[in-house]
Amino acid sequence: MVWNDGYVVEEAYTSGFFRKQSPVHLSVACALAGFEPVDTRKPFTYLELGSGKGFTANVLAAANPHAQFFAADFMPGHIATAGELAQAAQLDNVTHLEKSFEQLAAGEGDLPPLDFITLHGVYSWINPENRRHIVDLIARRLKPGGIVYVSYNALPGWSAAAPLQRLVLEHARAVPGRLEAQVRDAKTLIDRLVQAKAGYFTANENGILRSRLDSWAKDKPMYLAHEYMNQSWQALYHADVVRDFAAAKLDFATSAELCLNVDPQQLPVEQRRIVEAVDDPVLRETVLDYLQNTAFRSDIFIRGARRMAPVRRRTWWEQIGLALTVPRRCATLGQPAEPGGEGRAFASPVLDVLEDGPRSVQELAGRQGCDPAAIANLMSLLVWHDQGAPFIVGTQASPKAASLRLNAVVAAQAVADDNYQALASPLLGSGVSASALQRLVYHALRGKPQPLDRQALTHWIWQVLTDQGPPIVLAHEPLPGKESELEEIRRVVDGILAMRAPIWHQLHMI
């Protein structure tokens, strides 16, 4: 058998941080849905399957130094990269394993009983045999009450765009060559078909196909290769995933994408009546997928899901907090920055309080005189737009040495490239997105005496970006010359120091 089982291995995958895999986020999602979560304030064990270059696992390990992390991938280059970052940050609570799903299911890797197992961008890209190995591994290693996160391309939403994936795969089979060239040539073919008004593209020009075509226009070739060129790629129905995982005694609990946990009361009347008439939970979720034309799912399963009694659920509500991860002025919930509207009238006072620092959901609800569920809805919107994150109250004093070490390494790496685009927060038990300029400023704050010489810092950043390769692009278009580049860098740096650095302090990141 070929070792890669039809999976793209010619080039390494990108180094992303995926916040929905955070154990804190997963436990909060379960608690909000009324299911007993895993208490992440206590020591816990965590495994990421298909971990790529291991950046998510390394960030989570740094942000949760009291827990033990394992990350497995079958590509040696991925594991080498992941191990180098962990070693540079002196993370002694993460182990990167070069193991296939089959090897792990057979007991290799010396894994302990696990509280969390996560898979992001794996399950619908591998063949049925490997999906069975994953279920066998979960059955063998996940603790009772443990949580599984799995994301996958979903039906019916992918129905219109699935032929695009098949076109790219058939092109790759027919035109041998390096992956980057295959992606480039496939893009040329797609563009020609669109311009020629091919019936498939004109008949499906809206929705998911439009977003897929936009992805082909802007995303990196290696992402596109891993997304489209795996031979076993298959969009899946939620019902089939539920039946797969039932073999490991898993119960579907909720979506990790908090905004997608639909309250039927929020649906149009006719749609609400349809949903409320369905008693079977699998059919109910399937009907919701049809109503929303779902194309990607982020499901949370629990091994032995336990509904919390009202008293217990209130106890957990008191332990959930909310923090901004962007400056207050950027917390727009996807709306225009100008004030106005009923939703904004409710959100603005809450966001104003959060500007001064993280708060518990209960405190925010008390100040606003509302039900905690209203604050949870606001939390869902902030998380959706990457403007806020949940945390567990009582972790404010969590040790931050490991996060500081990892952040120092990641920020220093920004001098050479833009691979690692997040920093660790021990308060959140997760990571926070950070642009290249933000990481360079963080590097300066960590390594230079205070107060900073902003003129010298601006010129240093300009030189770093110039050395990485022109043109310098800070907004959407290249800037016309050095002076305009320096002026824009100085403006952005001032904003980071004034608005972003205080958030880093609030989240114990610096």
Give mean pLDDT, residues 309-321: 92
Most trustworthy range by pLDDT among 71-85, 226-240, 327-341, 387-401: 71-85
Assigned domain for 355 exists: yes
- Is the domain of 419 the same as that of 486? yes
Look at residue 10 and tell me whether its pLDDT is greater than 70: no
Look at residue 157 and tell me whether its pLDDT is greater than 50: yes
- Residue range(s) defining the domain that contains residue 64: 19-156+235-259+293-310
Give 168's pLDDT tier (boundaries 50, 70, 90). confident
At residue 45, the 3 state secondary structure works out as strand
With a pLDDT cut of 70, the percent of the chain lying above it is 92
Q: Which of 392, 416, 440 is a domain's end point?
A: 392
Q: Which of 342, 334, 427, 336 is nearest to 383 (CA)?
A: 334
Total residue length of the chain: 510
Provide the pLDDT for residue 140: 96
- Is the domain of 198 the same as that of 66? no
Our count of domains for the chain comes to 4
Q: Which two tokens stand for residue 26?
A: 């997963």
Assigned domain for 3 exists: no
- Is the domain of 208 the same as that of 93? no
Give mean pLDDT, residues 465-480: 72
Look at residue 446 and tell me whether its pLDDT is greater than 90: no
With a pLDDT cut of 90, the percent of the chain lying above it is 66
Q: Are 25 and 62 in contact (CB under 8 A)?
A: no
All residues at 6 or more sequence positions from 325 whose CB lies less than 8 Å from its CB, including other chains: 386, 387, 388, 389, 428, 432, 433, 503, 507
- Is the domain of 151 the same as that of 252? yes
Higher pLDDT among residues 504 and 466, named by residue: 504
Provide the pLDDT for residue 351: 95
- Is the domain of 386 the same as that of 471? no
* CA separation for the pair 50, 55 (Å, rounded): 12
Assigned domain for 366 exists: yes
Q: Which of 338, 361, 392 is a domain's end point?
A: 392
Look at residue 396 and tell me whether its pLDDT is greater than 70: no
- Is the domain of 142 the same as that of 216? no
Give mean pLDDT, residues 365-375: 91
Provide the pLDDT for residue 453: 87
The separation between CA 438 and the C-alpha centre of its own chain, rounded to angstroms, equals: 19
Provide the pLDDT for residue 118: 98
Assigned domain for 345 exists: yes
* CA separation for the pair 393, 322 (Å, rounded): 9
Give mean pLDDT, residues 93-117: 96
Q: For residue 176, with 0-12 CB atoms within 10 Å meaning exposed, 13-18 middle and 19 or more buried, which class applies?
A: exposed
- Is the domain of 114 the same as that of 242? yes
Give mean pLDDT, residues 481-486: 86
Give mean pLDDT, residues 390-404: 84
User: Cβ–Cβ contacts within 10 Å for residue 173, how many?
Assistant: 11
Give 336's pLDDT tier (boundaries 50, 70, 90). low
Q: Are 387 and 333 in contact (CB under 8 A)?
A: yes
Assigned domain for 11 exists: no
Give 8's pLDDT tier (boundaries 50, 70, 90). very low
Q: Residue 85 belongs to a domain with what CATH number? A: 3.40.50.150
Assigned domain for 199 exists: yes
- Is the domain of 250 the same as that of 347? no
Q: Are 351 and 328 in contact (CB under 8 A)?
A: yes
Per residue in 59-87, pLDDT (tens digit) is: 999 999 999 999 999 889 999 999 999 99
Helix (H) or strand (E) holding 173: helix 162-174
Encoded amino acid at 463, one letter: Q
Provide the pLDDT for residue 1: 35
Look at residue 338 and tell me whether its pLDDT is greater than 70: no
- Is the domain of 127 the same as that of 179? no
Look at residue 4 and tell me whether its pLDDT is greater than 70: no
- Is the domain of 75 the same as that of 216? no
Q: Which of 392, 424, 445 is a domain's end point?
A: 392
- Is the domain of 349 the same as that of 253? no
Q: What is the DSSP string of 197-260?
A: T-HHHHHT-STHHHHHHHHHHHS-HHHHHHHH--TT---B-HHHHHHHHHTTTEEEEEESSGGG
Provide the pLDDT for residue 2: 44
- Is the domain of 97 the same as that of 146? yes
Assigned domain for 92 exists: yes
Look at residue 181 and tell me whether its pLDDT is greater than 90: no
Say which range, 322-326, 386-390, 456-460, has the weakest mean pLDDT: 456-460
Q: Which two tokens stand for residue 227?
A: 């997304």
Assigned domain for 373 exists: yes
Look at residue 204 and tell me whether its pLDDT is greater than 80: yes
- CA–CA distance from 476 to each of 16, 464, 493, 495 (Å)? 22, 19, 17, 18
